Copies of this chain bind each other. A is one copy, B any other.
Amino acid sequence: MRKLLLLSTSVLQNGKYLDYASDVIKAFFAENGVSKIVFIPYAAHDHDAYEKKVKDAFLEFGLELNSIHKSDNLMATVKEAQGFFVGGGNTFLLLKTLYDLNLLEAIKSRVLQDGIPYMGSSAGTNLATVNICTTNDMPIVHPPTLDAFGFLPFNINPHYLDHDPTSKHMGESRETRLSEYHDIPNAKSPPVLGLREGSWLQVKDDQILLKGSISNQTARLFVRGQQTKEHEVNSDLSFLLKM
């Protein structure tokens, strides 16, 4: 079982927090009968400030949201959760904190065994995949492993960015960085979906749909040993579960 809503980003240029995806978020929780959401704030340092921002946005969507960092029994909060939202920020910090608090397996089991809906944005989307090897973030802390929830057997690169040929910047392009992942000798690095700003995945059990708020947008798929391929918004990407 898996019910996932995985956003590339939490905000579009000049936009309000999560505003561009408000209808999708409302529908995702409504169709699963969820009115009260447990928020995972650990990708940021200031949990109180982060909770306030997210709580206000969810209130406007008619949803109650409370951050787990205020709970005096984290495990009970996870066990009683109707739904999760894991917010963006620093992916290393998020993963390390979940390991430190022994929450990774607990949340994973709720989502995969009990079918509890999971919404992620940016770092929260990275966490839903097999590992955080394709995050864009800086390793400001060192998690014990890079393995993540593994709700999906492939990787996502959120905020996917095309190379600007006019740039004087000579650091690696996103495409080069992802190629390095697939060029590791004798490894089985899984496919990576480059999810551009304003697009997201809707996952229901074995069905994966690519969606987006920007017309004609595509997502770029990197598969080890193959040419990259663009997939249009509204494509069915369920085949990624079998690669």
Contacts and interface: CB of A to CB of B under 8 A. Distances in A.
Interface in A127-152: 132-142, 145-146
A142 B132 CA distance: 10
B138 A134 contact: yes
Contacts of A141: 133, 184
Contacts of A70: none
B135 A180 contact: no
Contact of A13 (B11, B168, B178): B168
Contacts of A146: 139, 142
Interface of A is mostly: loop
A213 to B, nearest CB: 13
A159 interface: yes
Contacts of A185: 45
Contacts of A181: 138, 140
Contact of A170 (B12, B137, B138, B177): B12
Contact of A139 (B122, B132, B170): B132
Given A142-B145, A145-B142, A146-B142, A137 B184 contact: no
A140 B9 contact: no
A205 interface: no
Interface string A189-227: 100000001000000000000000000000000000000
Contacts of A169: 159, 161, 197
Interface of A: 9-13, 45, 89-90, 92-93, 122, 132-142, 145-146, 158-159, 161, 168-172, 177-178, 180-181, 183-185, 189, 197
